[in-house]
Each structure stands twice: as C-alpha cells, then as structure tokens.
C-alpha cells in the first residue's frame, strides 16, 4: 500500500491524499494530489521532498497553480539542470 498525503502545516489540516494498492514513485501521485490540495486550500508555496524534483511538477506548481515550489534538488550526475522551472527553483533557493 502506498499513501501520499498533503497537509496545511499552519492549520494541521489534511488537504489531499492518494492511495494505491502497490508501491509507486512519489511523483506518480503528484499532479493529482497537488490539484486536489489546491482546490481545497490555495497555497502560496508547496514544500515537497526531493522525490518530487521534476520539471513537470515544478511547471505545474509555478505556472498552473501560481505558487512557489520548494523542492530540494536531486543529485544528478550531469551538472546542468534542464527545464526553466527546475532552474528557477535552484536560483530561488539560494
């Protein structure tokens, strides 16, 4: 069983959740979980662990939800980070 949960850390309210019957990567639930969460309680920023570091998720948060993505950068063998929103996250985090 795999569960992903979104929480409003100021109010300690669960704002979204996804459950699957088998182990899946965190990013698989991200889009639907973020939209579900944003529909219930719009946020200015979304803080996620590095398992969610992908251009698709950064773009969804920045451009569709009009919020800031705070996601640690995953270690990459290549030095250059591709993707406008992923690079933007790096510049904003310093």
Q: Structure pTM?
A: 0.72
pLDDT at 79: 57
Q: Is residue 88 part of a domain?
A: no
d(C-alpha 48, C-alpha 85), whole Å: 15
Q: Is residue 91 part of a domain?
A: no
DSSP string across the chain: -EEEEEEETTTTEEEEEEEESS---HHHHHHHHHHHHHHHS--SEEE--GGG--HHHHHIIIIIS--EEE-PPPP-SSSSPPSHHHHHHHHHH-
Distances in whole angstroms, Cα of residue 82 to Cα of each of 3, 8, 61, 78: 29, 30, 17, 10
pLDDT in tens, the chain (94 residues): 888 889 998 889 999 998 888 888 878 889 999 999 999 888 999 999 888 888 899 999 999 999 999 998 877 665 555 665 555 555 455 4
Q: Is residue 36 part of a domain?
A: yes
pLDDT at 7: 92
Q: Is residue 66 part of a domain?
A: yes
Q: Is residue 81 part of a domain?
A: no
What's the total number of domains in the chain?
Answer: 1
Domain coverage including residue 40? 2-70
Q: Is residue 79 part of a domain?
A: no
């Amino acid at each position: 069983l795999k569960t992903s949960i979104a929480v409003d850390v100021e109010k300690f309210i669960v704002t979204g959740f996804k459950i699957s019957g088998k182990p899946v990567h965190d990013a698989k639930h991200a889009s639907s979980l973020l939209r579900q969460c944003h529909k219930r309680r719009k946020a200015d920023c979304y803080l996620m662990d590095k398992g969610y570091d992908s251009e698709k998720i950064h773009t969804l948060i920045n451009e569709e939800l009009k919020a800031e993505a705070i996601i640690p950068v995953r270690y990459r063998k290549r030095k250059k980070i591709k993707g406008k929103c992923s690079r933007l996250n790096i510049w904003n985090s310093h």
